[in-house]
């Protein structure tokens, strides 16, 4: 299972966002999930937010749902709430590797 996740993040809360992501990645790993790639989309200086695109993999939908239901996310949910304005998730699957 491959997720393409676009997060809109408040610039002023970048540290809180990074702390949430570090802790969430450890929790995710317990369920077989990995943040494979992060792409930062810089914004103009006069904008209050920026975007990050994450490519995330899980072994299957059940493991993804187990991650989302993990009680260990509760103590750090406030970090995400203060930093993230919006989230868009596309669920897909691995495609061809055109470089091989």
Tell me, what's the pLDDT at 15?
Answer: 98
Above pLDDT 70, what percent of the chain? 100
Q: What global pTM score does this model have?
A: 0.91
Q: What pLDDT does 100 receive? A: 77
Number of H helices, E strands in the chain: 3, 4
Q: Which structural domain, as residue segments, surrounds residue 84?
A: 2-92
Q: At what angle do helices 61-69 and 14-30 cross, to 10 degrees?
A: 120
Within 8 A by CB and 6+ apart from 11, the residues are: 43, 47, 48, 49, 50
Residue 47 lies in a domain: yes
- CATH assignment at residue 26: 3.30.70.100
**Mind listing the pLDDT tens digit for each residue in 39-95?**
999 999 999 999 999 999 999 999 999 999 999 999 999 999 999 999 999 999 988
Is 34 a domain residue?
A: yes
Q: Give me the number of domains the chain comprises.
A: 1
Residue 100 located in a structural domain? no
pLDDT tens digit sequence for 81-92: 999 999 999 999
């Amino acid at each position: 299972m491959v997720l393409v996740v676009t997060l809109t993040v408040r610039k002023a809360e970048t540290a809180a966002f990074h702390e949430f992501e570090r802790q969430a990645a450890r929790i995710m790993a317990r369920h077989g999930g990995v943040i494979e790639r992060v792409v930062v989309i810089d914004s103009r200086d006069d904008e209050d937010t920026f975007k990050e695109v994450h490519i995330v993999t899980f072994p299957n939908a059940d493991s993804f749902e187990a991650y989302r239901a993990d009680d260990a996310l509760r103590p750090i949910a406030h970090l995400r709430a203060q930093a993230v304005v919006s989230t868009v998730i596309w669920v897909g699957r691995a495609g061809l590797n055109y470089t091989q």
